Structure 1
Amino acid sequence: MAALGNRGTVTEAAGFNPEEDAQKLRNAMKGAGTNEAAIIEVLAHRTIAQRQRIKETYKQTVGKELADDLKSELTGNFEKVVLGLLMPAPVYDAHELRYAIKGAGTDEACLIDILASRTNAEIKALTAFYNKEHERNLEDDICGDTSGMFQRVLVSLLTAGRDESSHVDEALVAQDAKDLYEAGEARWGTDEVKFLTILCVRNRAHLLRVFQEYQKIAGRDIEDSIKREMSGCLEDIFLAIVRCMKSKTAFFAERLYKSMKVRATVPAAV
Protein backbone atom coordinates (compact mmCIF):
# COMPACT_ATOMS: atom_id res chain seq x y z
CA MET A 1 0.00 0.00 0.00
CA ALA A 2 3.02 2.28 -0.03
CA ALA A 3 1.93 4.43 -2.93
CA LEU A 4 -1.73 4.64 -2.11
CA GLY A 5 -3.39 8.02 -1.74
CA ASN A 6 -0.19 10.02 -2.01
CA ARG A 7 0.64 10.63 -5.61
CA GLY A 8 -0.81 10.01 -9.02
CA THR A 9 -2.93 11.55 -11.72
CA VAL A 10 -6.01 12.58 -9.69
CA THR A 11 -6.82 16.19 -10.52
CA GLU A 12 -9.02 18.66 -8.67
CA ALA A 13 -12.70 17.90 -9.07
CA ALA A 14 -14.53 20.59 -11.03
CA GLY A 15 -17.10 22.51 -9.02
CA PHE A 16 -15.77 21.05 -5.80
CA ASN A 17 -18.21 21.44 -2.91
CA PRO A 18 -16.93 20.04 0.41
CA GLU A 19 -20.34 20.45 2.09
CA GLU A 20 -22.02 18.41 -0.62
CA ASP A 21 -19.32 15.74 -0.51
CA ALA A 22 -19.50 15.51 3.28
CA GLN A 23 -23.27 15.00 3.05
CA LYS A 24 -22.85 12.29 0.39
CA LEU A 25 -20.48 10.44 2.67
CA ARG A 26 -22.85 10.83 5.63
CA ASN A 27 -25.75 9.50 3.57
CA ALA A 28 -23.61 6.58 2.40
CA MET A 29 -23.16 5.47 6.00
CA LYS A 30 -26.64 6.18 7.40
CA GLY A 31 -29.10 3.42 8.06
CA ALA A 32 -28.65 -0.27 7.37
CA GLY A 33 -25.74 -1.16 5.14
CA THR A 34 -23.10 1.05 3.56
CA ASN A 35 -23.06 2.53 0.09
CA GLU A 36 -19.44 1.74 -0.76
CA ALA A 37 -19.86 2.96 -4.35
CA ALA A 38 -20.76 6.43 -3.09
CA ILE A 39 -17.70 6.50 -0.85
CA ILE A 40 -15.50 5.55 -3.79
CA GLU A 41 -17.18 8.11 -6.03
CA VAL A 42 -16.27 10.91 -3.64
CA LEU A 43 -12.90 10.03 -2.15
CA ALA A 44 -11.27 8.38 -5.16
CA HIS A 45 -11.98 11.42 -7.35
CA ARG A 46 -10.69 14.18 -5.07
CA THR A 47 -7.15 15.41 -4.54
CA ILE A 48 -5.41 15.11 -1.17
CA ALA A 49 -6.09 18.79 -0.45
CA GLN A 50 -9.79 18.39 -1.30
CA ARG A 51 -10.08 15.34 0.94
CA GLN A 52 -8.67 17.37 3.84
CA ARG A 53 -11.38 19.98 3.31
CA ILE A 54 -14.02 17.25 3.22
CA LYS A 55 -12.71 15.89 6.53
CA GLU A 56 -12.89 19.34 8.12
CA THR A 57 -16.38 20.00 6.77
CA TYR A 58 -17.64 16.59 7.89
CA LYS A 59 -16.46 17.26 11.43
CA GLN A 60 -18.09 20.70 11.41
CA THR A 61 -21.43 19.56 10.02
CA VAL A 62 -21.75 16.12 11.60
CA GLY A 63 -19.77 16.61 14.80
CA LYS A 64 -17.77 13.45 14.32
CA GLU A 65 -14.47 12.46 12.72
CA LEU A 66 -14.97 11.12 9.20
CA ALA A 67 -12.26 8.50 9.73
CA ASP A 68 -14.03 7.17 12.84
CA ASP A 69 -17.33 6.77 11.00
CA LEU A 70 -15.62 5.03 8.10
CA LYS A 71 -13.84 2.64 10.49
CA SER A 72 -17.17 1.68 12.02
CA GLU A 73 -18.69 0.96 8.60
CA LEU A 74 -15.88 -0.64 6.62
CA THR A 75 -13.61 -3.66 7.01
CA GLY A 76 -10.60 -5.34 5.50
CA ASN A 77 -8.50 -3.94 2.69
CA PHE A 78 -11.25 -1.60 1.56
CA GLU A 79 -11.16 0.08 4.96
CA LYS A 80 -7.36 0.42 4.74
CA VAL A 81 -7.56 1.97 1.28
CA VAL A 82 -10.26 4.48 2.21
CA LEU A 83 -8.53 5.55 5.43
CA GLY A 84 -5.29 5.90 3.49
CA LEU A 85 -6.99 8.26 1.06
CA LEU A 86 -7.87 10.57 3.96
CA MET A 87 -4.26 10.97 5.12
CA PRO A 88 -1.92 13.75 3.95
CA ALA A 89 1.08 12.32 2.10
CA PRO A 90 3.69 12.47 4.91
CA VAL A 91 1.19 11.11 7.43
CA TYR A 92 0.37 8.19 5.16
CA ASP A 93 4.04 7.43 4.48
CA ALA A 94 4.91 7.56 8.18
CA HIS A 95 1.94 5.32 9.00
CA GLU A 96 2.97 2.77 6.40
CA LEU A 97 6.61 2.76 7.51
CA ARG A 98 5.62 2.22 11.13
CA TYR A 99 3.31 -0.62 10.14
CA ALA A 100 6.12 -2.13 8.02
CA ILE A 101 8.57 -2.11 10.91
CA LYS A 102 6.64 -2.91 14.08
CA GLY A 103 5.78 -6.40 15.15
CA ALA A 104 7.28 -9.66 13.97
CA GLY A 105 9.03 -9.45 10.62
CA THR A 106 9.62 -6.49 8.35
CA ASP A 107 7.82 -5.44 5.17
CA GLU A 108 10.94 -4.64 3.16
CA ALA A 109 8.92 -3.94 0.01
CA CYS A 110 7.12 -1.08 1.77
CA LEU A 111 10.42 0.45 2.93
CA ILE A 112 11.75 0.21 -0.62
CA ASP A 113 8.64 1.61 -2.32
CA ILE A 114 8.57 4.69 -0.12
CA LEU A 115 12.22 5.58 0.38
CA ALA A 116 13.29 4.85 -3.21
CA SER A 117 10.56 7.02 -4.70
CA ARG A 118 10.18 10.10 -2.52
CA THR A 119 11.82 13.49 -2.98
CA ASN A 120 14.12 15.03 -0.37
CA ALA A 121 11.31 17.26 0.91
CA GLU A 122 8.90 14.32 1.13
CA ILE A 123 11.41 12.20 3.07
CA LYS A 124 12.12 15.04 5.50
CA ALA A 125 8.38 15.59 6.04
CA LEU A 126 7.55 11.94 6.65
CA THR A 127 10.57 11.53 8.95
CA ALA A 128 9.57 14.55 11.03
CA PHE A 129 6.00 13.29 11.36
CA TYR A 130 7.14 9.74 12.19
CA ASN A 131 9.49 10.92 14.92
CA LYS A 132 6.87 13.22 16.45
CA GLU A 133 3.78 11.02 16.11
CA HIS A 134 5.38 7.79 17.29
CA GLU A 135 7.94 9.37 19.63
CA ARG A 136 10.56 7.22 17.98
CA ASN A 137 13.47 7.80 15.62
CA LEU A 138 12.78 6.45 12.14
CA GLU A 139 16.44 5.82 11.33
CA ASP A 140 16.91 3.91 14.58
CA ASP A 141 13.81 1.82 13.87
CA ILE A 142 14.98 1.00 10.35
CA CYS A 143 18.45 0.09 11.59
CA GLY A 144 16.90 -2.12 14.24
CA ASP A 145 14.95 -4.08 11.64
CA THR A 146 17.41 -4.30 8.73
CA SER A 147 21.08 -5.09 8.29
CA GLY A 148 24.06 -5.07 5.96
CA MET A 149 24.24 -3.14 2.72
CA PHE A 150 20.46 -3.03 2.42
CA GLN A 151 20.35 -1.08 5.67
CA ARG A 152 23.09 1.26 4.45
CA VAL A 153 21.16 2.07 1.27
CA LEU A 154 18.00 2.81 3.28
CA VAL A 155 19.92 5.08 5.65
CA SER A 156 21.51 6.89 2.71
CA LEU A 157 18.09 7.55 1.17
CA LEU A 158 16.73 8.61 4.56
CA THR A 159 19.29 11.43 4.78
CA ALA A 160 17.38 13.14 1.93
CA GLY A 161 20.64 14.34 0.44
CA ARG A 162 20.13 13.56 -3.24
CA ASP A 163 21.16 16.29 -5.67
CA GLU A 164 17.85 17.48 -7.11
CA SER A 165 19.23 19.90 -9.66
CA SER A 166 19.09 19.20 -13.40
CA HIS A 167 22.83 19.76 -13.92
CA VAL A 168 24.62 17.12 -15.98
CA ASP A 169 28.41 16.94 -16.00
CA GLU A 170 29.33 14.83 -19.02
CA ALA A 171 32.80 14.09 -17.69
CA LEU A 172 31.29 12.83 -14.44
CA VAL A 173 28.67 10.88 -16.40
CA ALA A 174 31.43 8.99 -18.19
CA GLN A 175 33.28 8.39 -14.92
CA ASP A 176 30.18 7.18 -13.09
CA ALA A 177 29.25 4.78 -15.90
CA LYS A 178 32.82 3.43 -15.90
CA ASP A 179 32.85 3.13 -12.10
CA LEU A 180 29.55 1.21 -12.08
CA TYR A 181 30.85 -1.17 -14.74
CA GLU A 182 34.11 -1.73 -12.88
CA ALA A 183 32.22 -2.16 -9.60
CA GLY A 184 30.15 -4.99 -11.02
CA GLU A 185 30.42 -6.61 -14.42
CA ALA A 186 34.18 -6.05 -14.80
CA ARG A 187 35.29 -7.65 -11.52
CA TRP A 188 34.90 -10.73 -9.38
CA GLY A 189 32.39 -9.79 -6.71
CA THR A 190 30.56 -6.49 -6.50
CA ASP A 191 31.56 -3.15 -5.01
CA GLU A 192 28.10 -2.36 -3.65
CA VAL A 193 29.25 0.88 -2.01
CA LYS A 194 30.03 2.34 -5.43
CA PHE A 195 26.46 1.59 -6.56
CA LEU A 196 25.15 3.27 -3.38
CA THR A 197 27.33 6.35 -3.83
CA ILE A 198 26.18 6.95 -7.38
CA LEU A 199 22.54 5.78 -7.34
CA CYS A 200 21.60 7.40 -4.01
CA VAL A 201 23.30 10.75 -4.54
CA ARG A 202 23.23 11.87 -8.19
CA ASN A 203 20.30 13.78 -9.69
CA ARG A 204 17.80 12.24 -12.07
CA ALA A 205 18.98 13.96 -15.26
CA HIS A 206 22.55 12.92 -14.53
CA LEU A 207 21.61 9.31 -13.78
CA LEU A 208 19.58 8.96 -16.97
CA ARG A 209 22.71 9.90 -18.91
CA VAL A 210 24.78 7.49 -16.80
CA PHE A 211 22.39 4.68 -17.68
CA GLN A 212 22.79 5.47 -21.38
CA GLU A 213 26.58 5.46 -21.15
CA TYR A 214 26.55 2.31 -19.05
CA GLN A 215 24.62 0.52 -21.80
CA LYS A 216 27.39 1.41 -24.26
CA ILE A 217 30.18 0.21 -21.98
CA ALA A 218 28.59 -2.95 -20.57
CA GLY A 219 26.49 -3.94 -23.55
CA ARG A 220 23.46 -4.36 -21.31
CA ASP A 221 21.01 -2.24 -19.35
CA ILE A 222 21.97 -1.26 -15.80
CA GLU A 223 18.91 -3.15 -14.53
CA ASP A 224 20.19 -6.37 -16.08
CA SER A 225 23.57 -5.87 -14.42
CA ILE A 226 21.98 -5.28 -11.02
CA LYS A 227 20.01 -8.52 -11.41
CA ARG A 228 23.23 -10.37 -12.31
CA GLU A 229 25.33 -8.88 -9.53
CA MET A 230 22.93 -8.74 -6.57
CA SER A 231 20.07 -10.58 -4.94
CA GLY A 232 17.35 -10.23 -2.35
CA CYS A 233 16.42 -6.87 -0.86
CA LEU A 234 19.60 -5.19 -2.09
CA GLU A 235 18.74 -6.09 -5.67
CA ASP A 236 15.17 -4.92 -5.13
CA ILE A 237 16.11 -1.51 -3.74
CA PHE A 238 18.71 -0.71 -6.40
CA LEU A 239 16.26 -1.75 -9.11
CA ALA A 240 13.58 0.42 -7.51
CA ILE A 241 15.91 3.44 -7.49
CA VAL A 242 16.82 2.95 -11.15
CA ARG A 243 13.21 2.44 -12.21
CA CYS A 244 12.00 5.47 -10.25
CA MET A 245 14.69 7.57 -11.92
CA LYS A 246 13.42 6.38 -15.29
CA SER A 247 9.70 6.75 -14.46
CA LYS A 248 7.96 6.66 -11.09
CA THR A 249 4.64 6.19 -12.84
CA ALA A 250 5.88 3.09 -14.66
CA PHE A 251 7.49 1.78 -11.46
CA PHE A 252 4.25 1.90 -9.47
CA ALA A 253 2.18 0.66 -12.41
CA GLU A 254 4.37 -2.43 -12.51
CA ARG A 255 4.13 -2.88 -8.73
CA LEU A 256 0.34 -2.62 -8.94
CA TYR A 257 0.18 -5.10 -11.82
CA LYS A 258 2.35 -7.64 -10.01
CA SER A 259 0.31 -7.33 -6.81
CA MET A 260 -2.89 -8.13 -8.70
CA LYS A 261 -1.24 -10.89 -10.73
CA VAL A 262 -0.06 -12.63 -7.56
CA ARG A 263 -3.53 -12.43 -6.01
CA ALA A 264 -5.12 -13.75 -9.20
CA THR A 265 -2.92 -16.87 -9.15
CA VAL A 266 -3.69 -17.77 -5.52
CA PRO A 267 -6.24 -20.65 -5.55
CA ALA A 268 -9.50 -20.03 -3.77
CA ALA A 269 -10.01 -21.82 -0.45
CA VAL A 270 -12.05 -24.97 -0.74
Structure 2
Amino acid sequence: MAWWKAWIEQEGVTVKGTPHFNPDPDAETLYKAMKGIGTNEQAITDVLTRRSNMQRQQIAKSFKAQFGKDLTETLKSELSGKFERLIVALMYPPYRYEAKELHDAMKGSRDDVSGFVDPGLALQDAQDLYAAGEKINGTDEMKFITILCTRSAPHLMRVFEEYEKIANKSIEDSIKSETHGSLEEAMLTVVKCTRNVHCYFAERLHYAMKGAGTLDGTLIRNIVSRSEIDLNLIKNQFKKMYGKTLSSMITEDTSGDYKNALLSLVGNDP
Protein backbone atom coordinates (compact mmCIF):
# COMPACT_ATOMS: atom_id res chain seq x y z
CA MET A 1 0.00 0.00 0.00
CA ALA A 2 3.02 2.32 0.25
CA TRP A 3 2.85 3.27 -3.44
CA TRP A 4 -0.83 4.18 -3.12
CA LYS A 5 -0.20 6.45 -0.15
CA ALA A 6 2.72 8.12 -1.95
CA TRP A 7 0.56 8.71 -5.03
CA ILE A 8 -2.24 10.24 -2.97
CA GLU A 9 0.27 12.46 -1.20
CA GLN A 10 1.67 13.70 -4.49
CA GLU A 11 -1.50 14.00 -6.54
CA GLY A 12 -4.32 14.65 -4.10
CA VAL A 13 -3.03 17.16 -1.56
CA THR A 14 -3.62 20.89 -2.00
CA VAL A 15 -1.96 21.95 1.28
CA LYS A 16 1.50 20.42 1.57
CA GLY A 17 3.13 22.83 4.00
CA THR A 18 6.35 24.70 3.48
CA PRO A 19 9.87 23.23 3.28
CA HIS A 20 12.61 24.40 5.66
CA PHE A 21 9.89 25.22 8.15
CA ASN A 22 10.53 27.36 11.24
CA PRO A 23 7.47 28.04 13.42
CA ASP A 24 8.95 31.03 15.25
CA PRO A 25 8.74 33.62 12.44
CA ASP A 26 5.24 32.42 11.55
CA ALA A 27 4.13 32.81 15.16
CA GLU A 28 5.62 36.32 15.21
CA THR A 29 3.84 37.19 11.94
CA LEU A 30 0.52 36.08 13.41
CA TYR A 31 1.15 38.02 16.61
CA LYS A 32 1.87 41.21 14.67
CA ALA A 33 -1.20 40.60 12.48
CA MET A 34 -3.42 40.67 15.59
CA LYS A 35 -1.54 43.20 17.72
CA GLY A 36 -3.09 46.57 18.43
CA ILE A 37 -6.11 48.02 16.68
CA GLY A 38 -7.35 46.11 13.66
CA THR A 39 -6.35 42.74 12.25
CA ASN A 40 -4.32 41.83 9.18
CA GLU A 41 -6.55 39.05 7.86
CA GLN A 42 -4.43 38.54 4.74
CA ALA A 43 -1.32 37.82 6.80
CA ILE A 44 -3.26 35.23 8.80
CA THR A 45 -4.51 33.64 5.58
CA ASP A 46 -1.03 33.58 4.03
CA VAL A 47 0.43 31.75 7.01
CA LEU A 48 -2.24 29.30 8.11
CA THR A 49 -3.61 28.18 4.73
CA ARG A 50 -0.10 27.45 3.42
CA ARG A 51 1.12 25.31 6.29
CA SER A 52 0.33 21.67 6.94
CA ASN A 53 -1.67 20.79 10.02
CA MET A 54 1.45 19.49 11.74
CA GLN A 55 3.17 22.80 11.06
CA ARG A 56 0.18 24.74 12.40
CA GLN A 57 0.43 22.81 15.68
CA GLN A 58 4.09 23.80 15.97
CA ILE A 59 3.21 27.43 15.24
CA ALA A 60 0.65 27.30 18.06
CA LYS A 61 3.31 26.00 20.48
CA SER A 62 5.74 28.71 19.41
CA PHE A 63 3.03 31.36 19.76
CA LYS A 64 2.34 30.21 23.31
CA ALA A 65 6.06 30.09 24.18
CA GLN A 66 6.83 33.52 22.72
CA PHE A 67 3.76 35.50 23.71
CA GLY A 68 2.10 33.50 26.50
CA LYS A 69 -1.21 33.25 24.65
CA ASP A 70 -3.23 30.43 23.13
CA LEU A 71 -3.21 30.94 19.36
CA THR A 72 -6.65 29.48 18.72
CA GLU A 73 -8.26 31.58 21.44
CA THR A 74 -6.47 34.68 20.15
CA LEU A 75 -7.74 34.01 16.65
CA LYS A 76 -11.27 33.61 17.99
CA SER A 77 -11.04 36.95 19.77
CA GLU A 78 -9.70 38.78 16.71
CA LEU A 79 -11.75 37.26 13.90
CA SER A 80 -15.45 36.85 13.26
CA GLY A 81 -18.03 35.21 11.04
CA LYS A 82 -17.28 32.59 8.43
CA PHE A 83 -13.61 33.56 8.21
CA GLU A 84 -13.19 32.87 11.93
CA ARG A 85 -14.96 29.53 11.57
CA LEU A 86 -12.65 28.46 8.74
CA ILE A 87 -9.41 29.60 10.37
CA VAL A 88 -10.28 28.03 13.73
CA ALA A 89 -11.13 24.75 11.94
CA LEU A 90 -7.62 24.77 10.49
CA MET A 91 -6.13 24.88 13.98
CA TYR A 92 -7.65 21.60 15.16
CA PRO A 93 -5.43 18.52 14.93
CA PRO A 94 -7.07 16.29 12.30
CA TYR A 95 -8.29 13.66 14.75
CA ARG A 96 -9.91 16.28 16.97
CA TYR A 97 -11.52 18.05 14.06
CA GLU A 98 -12.96 14.86 12.65
CA ALA A 99 -14.29 13.90 16.08
CA LYS A 100 -15.77 17.36 16.50
CA GLU A 101 -17.56 17.06 13.16
CA LEU A 102 -18.78 13.53 13.98
CA HIS A 103 -16.69 12.13 11.16
CA ASP A 104 -15.77 9.11 13.24
CA ALA A 105 -19.46 8.15 13.36
CA MET A 106 -19.06 7.06 9.74
CA LYS A 107 -15.85 5.15 10.34
CA GLY A 108 -16.89 2.72 13.15
CA SER A 109 -14.33 -0.10 13.33
CA ARG A 110 -13.89 -0.31 9.48
CA ASP A 111 -10.91 -2.31 8.16
CA ASP A 112 -9.26 0.02 5.65
CA VAL A 113 -5.68 -1.10 6.20
CA SER A 114 -4.97 -4.33 4.37
CA GLY A 115 -7.00 -3.86 1.20
CA PHE A 116 -7.32 -7.67 1.03
CA VAL A 117 -10.56 -9.06 -0.39
CA ASP A 118 -11.71 -12.56 0.55
CA PRO A 119 -14.08 -13.65 -2.27
CA GLY A 120 -15.74 -16.22 -0.01
CA LEU A 121 -16.45 -13.69 2.71
CA ALA A 122 -17.68 -11.16 0.14
CA LEU A 123 -20.17 -13.71 -1.17
CA GLN A 124 -21.25 -14.57 2.38
CA ASP A 125 -21.76 -10.89 3.19
CA ALA A 126 -23.85 -10.46 0.05
CA GLN A 127 -25.98 -13.46 1.00
CA ASP A 128 -26.35 -12.13 4.55
CA LEU A 129 -27.48 -8.74 3.28
CA TYR A 130 -30.04 -10.37 1.00
CA ALA A 131 -31.29 -12.56 3.84
CA ALA A 132 -31.52 -9.52 6.12
CA GLY A 133 -33.64 -7.52 3.71
CA GLU A 134 -35.14 -8.64 0.43
CA LYS A 135 -35.65 -12.25 1.56
CA ILE A 136 -37.71 -11.49 4.68
CA ASN A 137 -40.60 -9.36 5.81
CA GLY A 138 -39.03 -6.42 7.53
CA THR A 139 -35.32 -5.68 7.72
CA ASP A 140 -32.48 -6.80 9.96
CA GLU A 141 -30.99 -3.32 10.13
CA MET A 142 -28.10 -4.32 12.39
CA LYS A 143 -26.83 -6.75 9.76
CA PHE A 144 -26.74 -3.94 7.19
CA ILE A 145 -25.00 -1.61 9.66
CA THR A 146 -22.42 -4.21 10.69
CA ILE A 147 -21.36 -5.09 7.16
CA LEU A 148 -21.47 -1.62 5.64
CA CYS A 149 -19.65 0.04 8.53
CA THR A 150 -16.91 -2.51 9.26
CA ARG A 151 -15.77 -3.89 5.89
CA SER A 152 -13.08 -2.22 3.76
CA ALA A 153 -13.98 -0.35 0.58
CA PRO A 154 -12.41 -2.94 -1.78
CA HIS A 155 -14.25 -5.70 0.05
CA LEU A 156 -17.58 -3.85 -0.14
CA MET A 157 -17.17 -3.30 -3.88
CA ARG A 158 -16.98 -7.08 -4.27
CA VAL A 159 -19.97 -7.51 -1.94
CA PHE A 160 -22.03 -5.10 -4.06
CA GLU A 161 -21.20 -7.08 -7.21
CA GLU A 162 -22.21 -10.37 -5.59
CA TYR A 163 -25.35 -8.83 -4.12
CA GLU A 164 -26.59 -7.64 -7.50
CA LYS A 165 -26.18 -11.17 -8.88
CA ILE A 166 -28.23 -12.61 -6.02
CA ALA A 167 -30.95 -9.97 -5.71
CA ASN A 168 -31.16 -8.81 -9.36
CA LYS A 169 -31.08 -5.25 -8.10
CA SER A 170 -28.43 -2.87 -6.83
CA ILE A 171 -27.59 -2.50 -3.15
CA GLU A 172 -28.77 1.12 -3.41
CA ASP A 173 -32.22 0.06 -4.61
CA SER A 174 -32.48 -2.48 -1.79
CA ILE A 175 -31.49 0.09 0.83
CA LYS A 176 -34.12 2.48 -0.51
CA SER A 177 -36.84 -0.17 -0.36
CA GLU A 178 -35.82 -1.66 3.00
CA THR A 179 -34.96 1.45 5.08
CA HIS A 180 -35.99 5.07 5.37
CA GLY A 181 -35.10 8.34 7.05
CA SER A 182 -31.68 9.01 8.52
CA LEU A 183 -30.67 5.33 8.40
CA GLU A 184 -31.38 5.16 4.68
CA GLU A 185 -29.39 8.35 4.10
CA ALA A 186 -26.45 7.08 6.16
CA MET A 187 -26.32 3.72 4.38
CA LEU A 188 -26.56 5.30 0.93
CA THR A 189 -23.73 7.64 1.90
CA VAL A 190 -21.52 4.70 2.85
CA VAL A 191 -22.26 3.03 -0.50
CA LYS A 192 -21.61 6.24 -2.42
CA CYS A 193 -18.29 6.79 -0.64
CA THR A 194 -17.32 3.20 -1.34
CA ARG A 195 -18.04 3.43 -5.04
CA ASN A 196 -16.30 6.80 -5.56
CA VAL A 197 -15.23 8.84 -2.54
CA HIS A 198 -14.10 11.77 -4.71
CA CYS A 199 -17.48 11.90 -6.40
CA TYR A 200 -19.15 11.94 -2.99
CA PHE A 201 -17.13 14.90 -1.73
CA ALA A 202 -17.58 16.76 -5.02
CA GLU A 203 -21.34 16.34 -4.59
CA ARG A 204 -21.18 17.60 -1.00
CA LEU A 205 -19.22 20.70 -2.03
CA HIS A 206 -21.62 21.43 -4.89
CA TYR A 207 -24.60 20.90 -2.61
CA ALA A 208 -23.13 23.37 -0.11
CA MET A 209 -23.03 26.15 -2.70
CA LYS A 210 -25.91 25.54 -5.10
CA GLY A 211 -29.11 27.52 -4.86
CA ALA A 212 -29.77 30.46 -2.59
CA GLY A 213 -27.30 30.82 0.27
CA THR A 214 -24.27 28.75 1.19
CA LEU A 215 -24.01 25.91 3.71
CA ASP A 216 -20.78 27.20 5.19
CA GLY A 217 -20.39 24.42 7.75
CA THR A 218 -20.47 21.79 5.00
CA LEU A 219 -18.15 23.83 2.78
CA ILE A 220 -15.58 24.42 5.53
CA ARG A 221 -15.70 20.87 6.88
CA ASN A 222 -15.10 19.22 3.51
CA ILE A 223 -12.35 21.55 2.32
CA VAL A 224 -10.45 21.55 5.62
CA SER A 225 -10.71 17.80 6.16
CA ARG A 226 -9.66 16.86 2.60
CA SER A 227 -7.04 19.54 1.90
CA GLU A 228 -4.22 17.33 3.14
CA ILE A 229 -5.64 14.11 1.72
CA ASP A 230 -7.20 14.24 -1.77
CA LEU A 231 -8.70 17.66 -2.51
CA ASN A 232 -6.99 17.87 -5.91
CA LEU A 233 -8.70 14.64 -6.95
CA ILE A 234 -12.02 15.96 -5.66
CA LYS A 235 -11.47 19.15 -7.70
CA ASN A 236 -10.94 17.08 -10.85
CA GLN A 237 -14.14 15.13 -10.18
CA PHE A 238 -16.01 18.38 -9.46
CA LYS A 239 -15.02 19.79 -12.87
CA LYS A 240 -16.10 16.58 -14.64
CA MET A 241 -19.46 16.49 -12.89
CA TYR A 242 -20.47 20.14 -13.00
CA GLY A 243 -18.54 21.67 -15.89
CA LYS A 244 -16.98 24.36 -13.72
CA THR A 245 -14.09 24.50 -11.31
CA LEU A 246 -14.48 24.40 -7.56
CA SER A 247 -12.54 27.67 -7.34
CA SER A 248 -14.95 29.45 -9.67
CA MET A 249 -17.95 28.35 -7.65
CA ILE A 250 -16.29 29.43 -4.40
CA THR A 251 -15.58 32.82 -6.01
CA GLU A 252 -19.24 33.16 -7.00
CA ASP A 253 -20.67 32.12 -3.65
CA THR A 254 -18.33 33.61 -1.02
CA SER A 255 -16.55 36.90 -0.44
CA GLY A 256 -13.84 38.76 1.44
CA ASP A 257 -11.21 37.12 3.64
CA TYR A 258 -13.35 34.00 3.89
CA LYS A 259 -13.24 33.56 0.11
CA ASN A 260 -9.50 34.25 -0.06
CA ALA A 261 -8.74 31.67 2.64
CA LEU A 262 -10.90 29.02 0.96
CA LEU A 263 -9.24 29.64 -2.41
CA SER A 264 -5.80 29.41 -0.82
CA LEU A 265 -6.69 26.01 0.65
CA VAL A 266 -8.16 24.78 -2.63
CA GLY A 267 -5.10 25.81 -4.64
CA ASN A 268 -4.71 26.21 -8.39
CA ASP A 269 -7.28 24.76 -10.75
CA PRO A 270 -6.35 21.60 -12.67
Range into which the TM-score falls when normalised by the shorter chain: 0.5 to 0.7
After superposition, the Cα gap between the structure-2 partners of 1:17 and 1:249, relative to the gap in structure 1 and judged at 3 Å, is: farther
Alignment counterpart, residue 114 of structure 1, candidates 101, 104, 112? 104
Letter in 1 for 2:123: A
Is the Cα–Cα contact under 8 Å of residues 11 and 46 in structure 1 kept in the other structure? Answer: yes
Query: Once the 2 structures are TM-superposed, how far is the Cα of residue 44 of structure 1 from its aligned partner?
Result: 1.8
User: What TM-score does the superposition give when structure 2 sets the normalisation length?
Assistant: 0.65
The share of aligned pairs that are identical, in percent, is 48
Is the Cα–Cα contact under 8 Å of residues 18 and 54 in structure 1 kept in the other structure? Answer: yes
- 1:146-188 CA distance string (max 9 Å, x none): xxxxxxxxxxx2xx36474323221221222232233333443
After superposition, the Cα gap between the structure-2 partners of 1:25 and 1:163, relative to the gap in structure 1 and judged at 3 Å, is: closer
- 1:35-57 CA distance string (max 9 Å, x none): 22322222122211110111111
Inter-partner Cα distance in structure 1 for 2:89 and 2:214? 26
Alignment match, 1:181: 130
Query: Once the 2 structures are TM-superposed, how far is the Cα of residue 15 of structure 1 from its aligned partner?
Result: 3.6
Is the Cα–Cα contact under 8 Å of residues 110 and 151 in structure 2 kept in the other structure? Answer: no
After superposition, the Cα gap between the structure-2 partners of 1:25 and 1:92, relative to the gap in structure 1 and judged at 3 Å, is: same
Alignment match, 2:71: 66
Alignment counterpart, residue 80 of structure 2, candidates 75, 78, 82? 75
Is the Cα–Cα contact under 8 Å of residues 153 and 194 in structure 2 kept in the other structure? Answer: yes
Alignment match, 1:208: 157
Unaligned runs of 5+ in 2: 1-8, 216-270
Alignment match, 2:204: 255
Alignment match, 2:59: 54
Alignment match, 1:38: 43
Letter in 2 for 1:17: N
Inter-partner Cα distance in structure 1 for 2:207 and 2:53? 26
Unaligned runs of 5+ in 1: 1-6, 97-109, 118-156
- Report which structure shows greater RCO (CA 8 Å, sep ≥6): 2
- 1:197-228 CA distance string (max 9 Å, x none): 31123233211211222233334432333223
Helix, strand or coil for the counterpart of 1:61?
Answer: helix
Cα RMSD over matched residues?
2.8
Number of residue pairs the alignment of both structures matches: 204
Helix, strand or coil for the counterpart of 2:19?
Answer: coil
Is the Cα–Cα contact under 8 Å of residues 199 and 238 in structure 1 kept in the other structure? Answer: yes
Is the Cα–Cα contact under 8 Å of residues 116 and 240 in structure 1 kept in the other structure? Answer: no
Alignment match, 2:32: 27
After superposition, the Cα gap between the structure-2 partners of 1:24 and 1:250, relative to the gap in structure 1 and judged at 3 Å, is: farther
Which residues in structure 2 correspond to 1:208-247 (within 5 Å)?
208-247=157-196
After superposition, the Cα gap between the structure-2 partners of 1:223 and 1:40, relative to the gap in structure 1 and judged at 3 Å, is: farther
Inter-partner Cα distance in structure 2 for 1:193 and 1:262? 36
Alignment match, 1:131: none
- 1:63-122 CA distance string (max 9 Å, x none): 32211221111123322221121111232234x2xxxxxxxxxxxxx54x43214xxxxx
Inter-partner Cα distance in structure 1 for 2:54 and 2:214? 37
Is the Cα–Cα contact under 8 Å of residues 211 and 222 in structure 1 kept in the other structure? Answer: yes
Alignment match, 2:147: 198
Is the Cα–Cα contact under 8 Å of residues 59 and 66 in structure 1 kept in the other structure? Answer: yes
Inter-partner Cα distance in structure 1 for 2:121 and 2:46? 49
